[in-house]
Every structure is written in C-alpha cells, then in structure tokens.
C-alpha cells in the first residue's frame, strides 16, 4: 500500500445520499492516494458487500461501516457488514445503539458532534453516551474548522479516540479528512485494531469556502441527475 497508510473514515454512496457509485468512490479514493476508505451510508449497509468485493480489484481496503441517525447524534460504526436490526433504523436512542455496537464488537465514533452550521447535537451534553462511545470524529471534511476544534476539545475532555473522515458525497470531497496509520495494514480488521490502539494521527479539513462550493456542486449534480432521469422516464412512455 506504499510508505503511508491513509484512511478516510467517512464516505457516502448512492446507497444513501451520496452521488457516487461504489466503484466511483473507490476509484476516487485510490486517486487520492488513500490506502483505505470507509463506506458509511446513512442507516444502511446495502453497498458494503459489493464494496468489499470490488476492493481487491481496485487495490484498496474497504472498511465496512454505517452512519446511524440516532435521536441525539449521528453515530459511525466500523466493522459492521450486515444490516442493523429494524429497531435501530428509525431514530433510535444513541445509548441503545452504543450498547448494540459494544455487544457486537463494532468500533463506534460520534460523527461531527458540533454540527455543520455551528449547532451542536444533543449528544455533547449527554455524558453517558460520551463515556460509552469509543471515539469522536474530530475532523469532518464538510464541517467548519470551528466545529472541528470544539470536537477536538470534547474528545480530549473525555479521553476519546479521535477519528477523521471527509464525509464525502461527491468525488472532489474524498480524502479531505483522514487518518494516518503508524503501522502497515492489509485489511479492515487491522485498521480497526489500530483505531482501538489509538495508533494514528488525524488531519485534514477544508475552508468554509471549499465546503460551500462542494455543497453547491452536490446540489447542482443532484438536480441535473433528477432532470436526466425524468427525461429518460418520459422517453420510455
């Protein structure tokens, strides 16, 4: 995988609200020089198995994951391949999901706890959840630096393992936030093992201007894709 082992721990595909196919995401990660990329679609692992099967062809490590939408925060889980039980797919309590994650040996990290528009999630005041979580995402590629700085302070306060991810929805965002592993890895289990050891460095992030630009690009592409799909539908009638 090269001299450095770089892993983006937060990315979305068309299986949730991302605009990239699985192949497009993996190829974008490869072009960015990443050793690994986590698939963390919202409330589903539908794309994970296909991503794992494509990983060897593209020569990149896929970390199976999910971003669970709880009532108090978005929670990233790593190591999960199968779908969540039904009761955890519709705004569950974060404490319930953390207990489920721990019982199944999934690494948990609270995503962008201070939000993207300087409005924190309720979890920042929920001590029990902060104590139970394995980590906190301290650098999110679609979150302003001020919010990321607050997340760093929160992680330090509760002695949580720091994680970082681009939260990519389009190719240009992939790899904008990531971790640098201090030891070589050959599979996703070893990446998660390094997370537990806190044997990594987090870095990255983007300016507010860059964040706004990518959000606008995403919305424009979604609009154009919708128009194309409607046109194709009309042509078939």
Q: What is the pLDDT of residues 125-148, one digit of tens each?
A: 999 999 999 999 999 999 999 999
The separation between CA 85 and the C-alpha centre of its own chain, rounded to angstroms, equals 20
The band of 3, judged by pLDDT with boundaries at 50, 70 and 90, is low
Q: pLDDT at residue 233 above 60?
A: no
Average pLDDT in the chain: 92
Structure tokens at 19: 């605009």
The band of 2, judged by pLDDT with boundaries at 50, 70 and 90, is very low
Q: Are 178 and 164 in contact (CB under 8 A)?
A: yes
Confidence at residue 236, expressed as pLDDT on a 0 to 100 scale: 52
Tell which CATH classification among 3.40.930.10, 3.30.2130.30, 3.40.50.2300, 3.20.20.140 matches the domain 5-208: 3.20.20.140
Cα(25)–Cα(29) distance, integer angstroms: 6
Question: What DSSP assignment string belongs to 103-166?
Answer: HTT-EEEEE-TT-SSS---GGGG-HHHHHH-SEEEEEETTS-HHHHHHHHHHHHHTTPEEEEE-
Confidence at residue 18, expressed as pLDDT on a 0 to 100 scale: 92
pLDDT in tens, 69-106: 999 999 999 999 999 999 998 899 999 999 999 999 99
Kindly list the domain boundaries of the chain, sorted by start residue.
Answer: 5-208
Sort 129 into a burial class: Cβ within 10 Å, 0-12 / 13-18 / 19+.
buried
Helix 22-31 vs helix 48-58: crossing angle, to nearest 10: 40
Question: Which of 127, 108, 192, 177 has its CA nearest to residue 147?
Answer: 177
The band of 215, judged by pLDDT with boundaries at 50, 70 and 90, is confident
Q: State mean pLDDT over 159-183.
A: 96
The angle formed by the CA atoms of residues 65, 71 and 76, to the nearest 5 degrees, is 15
Cα(155)–Cα(23) distance, integer angstroms: 33
- pTM, entire model: 0.92
Q: pLDDT at residue 231 above 50?
A: no
Q: Are 75 and 94 in contact (CB under 8 A)?
A: yes
Q: State mean pLDDT over 11-28.
A: 96
pLDDT in tens, 40-73: 999 999 999 999 999 999 999 999 999 999 999 9
Catalogue the E-assigned strands of the chain.
Answer: 5-8, 36-39, 61-69, 74-78, 107-111, 135-140, 161-165, 177-181, 200-204
Sort 78 into a burial class: Cβ within 10 Å, 0-12 / 13-18 / 19+.
buried
The band of 119, judged by pLDDT with boundaries at 50, 70 and 90, is confident
Q: pLDDT at residue 227 above 50?
A: no
């Amino acid at each position: 995988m090269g001299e450095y082992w770089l892993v983006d721990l937060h990315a979305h595909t068309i299986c949730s609200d991302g605009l990239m196919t699985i192949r497009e995401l993996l190829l974008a990660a490869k072009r960015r020089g990443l050793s690994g990329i986590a698939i963390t679609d919202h409330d589903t692992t539908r794309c994970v198995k296909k991503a794992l099967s494509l990983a060897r062809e593209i020569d990149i490590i896929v970390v199976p994951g999910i971003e669970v939408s709880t009532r108090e925060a978005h929670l990233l889980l790593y190591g999960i391949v199968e779908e969540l039980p039904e009761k955890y797919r519709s705004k569950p309590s974060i404490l319930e999901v953390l207990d489920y994650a721990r019982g199944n040996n999934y690494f948990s990290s609270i995503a962008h706890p201070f939000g993207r528009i300087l409005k924190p999630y309720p979890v920042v005041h929920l001590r029990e959840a902060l104590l139970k979580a394995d980590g906190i995402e301290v650098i999110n590629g679609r979150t302003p630096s001020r919010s990321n700085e607050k997340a760093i302070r929160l992680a330090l306060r509760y002695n949580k393992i720091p994680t970082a991810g681009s939260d990519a929805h389009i190719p240009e965002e992939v790899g904008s936030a990531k971790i640098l592993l201090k030891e070589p890895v050959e599979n996703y289990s070893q990446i998660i093992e390094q997370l537990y050891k806190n044997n990594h460095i987090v870095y990255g992030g983007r300016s507010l201007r860059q964040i706004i630009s990518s959000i606008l690009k995403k919305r424009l592409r979604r609009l154009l894709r919708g128009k194309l799909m409607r046109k194709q539908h009309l042509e078939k009638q």
